[in-house]
Amino acid sequence: MHVLLIAGGWSEERDVSLSGAEGIEQALLELGHDVEFLDPAKDFKNILTLAEHADFAFINLHGSPGEDGLIQAMLNQVNCPYQGAEPESSFLTLNKAATKTVFDQNQITTPRWELICPADGCKGLEGLEPPVFIKPNSGGSSLGMTFARSAEELEKGIETVFSLGDSALVEEYTEGVEVTCGILDGEPLPLIMINPPENAEFFDYHSKYALNGAEEICPAPIDAALTEQIQQITVKVHKLLGLTDYSRADFIISDGVPYLLEVNTLPGMTPTSLVPQAAKEAGYSFNELIAKLIELGQRKRK
């Protein structure tokens, strides 16, 4: 099969995307596929032409384009199958404030939050005060995230996000243990507990992608009832957001209560990424995971 591997792009997560693409390309070749690589940042105008002649497009993009649904919408134009969410669900899920409103509307516990926009007349924080996390509203991989303990750090954190051209999602600090739950073909994968390195305040960019980063324990050493509760929430939100094939939800467990932080529609696929780890625990090798995602993408298109 002729597979168009789409990676790179122009978001702050470009390097992560390209890193993951190396392993995906190797897996595709070992599975017997013919692989053609496309970087939207360098060859955007040829996407439709190349996709029209491909049997499948494997998307490994983070941020925009990719997680915002743009590439998926273009692939739909030429009826090229791909893995993961459709454009509308991708666009909704990438926006943290939008997903938070879905969580709140459906009684899914999430830390209190406020959206701060870089526009004249927009209000500042009303109900929250430090300590808080400040995140780009439509970014990922913890890039641009700040943990603010004071009003001064809060102001600097918001300015950092604004400098990235984004609105700022300010989230109440919730102390606890971080876990993540993946979904594959509608079924929850084993949970992973994440312990950031001692010198990291949270699961930051370095912790996620460095070989000496966070300690990741799979399956997570938490009791069966709480594990099942988190898996049920993950399945529920996967359906609420209209996602397909696979996704990953991130939680903080505080005093026995799981707080849903965010959902990822194109989870990372580097050697240290979480979904491949959980899939391995569920019995999938990396190559088998790639093959399964292609199968799901083709099934969806049919």
| H or E element at residue 148 | strand 146-148
Q: CA-CA distance, 12 to 140, in Å (whole number)? A: 9
Ramachandran region of residue 69, left (φ > 0), alpha (ψ -120 to 50) or beta?
A: left
What per-residue confidence (pLDDT) applies to 101? 97
What per-residue confidence (pLDDT) applies to 204? 44
pLDDT band at 63 (very low <50, low <70, confident <90, very high): confident
12 and 164 in contact (C-beta within 8 Å)? yes
Other residues' Cβ atoms within 10 Å of the Cβ of residue 238: 26
Other residues' Cβ atoms within 10 Å of the Cβ of residue 42: 10
Going by C-alpha positions, the residue among 189, 174, 264 that lies closest to residue 220 is 189
pTM: predicted TM-score of the whole model, two decimal places: 0.90
Q: CA-CA distance, 270 to 96, in Å (whole number)? A: 23
Per-residue tokens: 217: 């324990």
Task: Please give the domain boundaries of the chain with CATH numbers for all domains.
Answer: 2-82 (3.40.50.20), 112-172 (3.30.1490.20), 174-301 (3.30.470.20)
What per-residue confidence (pLDDT) applies to 249? 98
98 and 104 in contact (C-beta within 8 Å)? no
Per-residue tokens: 108: 């899914």
Which tens digits make up the pLDDT trace of 36-57? 999 999 999 999 999 999 999 9
Mean per-residue pLDDT for 228-238? 98
Q: CA-CA distance, 224 to 267, in Å (whole number)? A: 25
What per-residue confidence (pLDDT) applies to 207? 46
Which tens digits make up the pLDDT trace of 104-156? 999 999 999 999 998 876 767 888 999 999 999 986 545 789 999 999 999 99
Which tens digits make up the pLDDT trace of 69-92? 999 999 999 999 999 999 999 999
The overall average pLDDT reported for the chain is: 92
Range with the poorest average pLDDT among 10-24, 121-135, 149-163, 232-246: 121-135
pLDDT band at 209 (very low <50, low <70, confident <90, very high): very low
39 and 8 in contact (C-beta within 8 Å)? yes
Which tens digits make up the pLDDT trace of 274-299? 999 999 999 999 999 999 999 999 99
pLDDT band at 172 (very low <50, low <70, confident <90, very high): very high
Q: CA-CA distance, 52 to 75, in Å (whole number)? A: 8
Which has more pLDDT, 213 or 127? 127
Q: CA-CA distance, 275 to 148, in Å (whole number)? A: 29
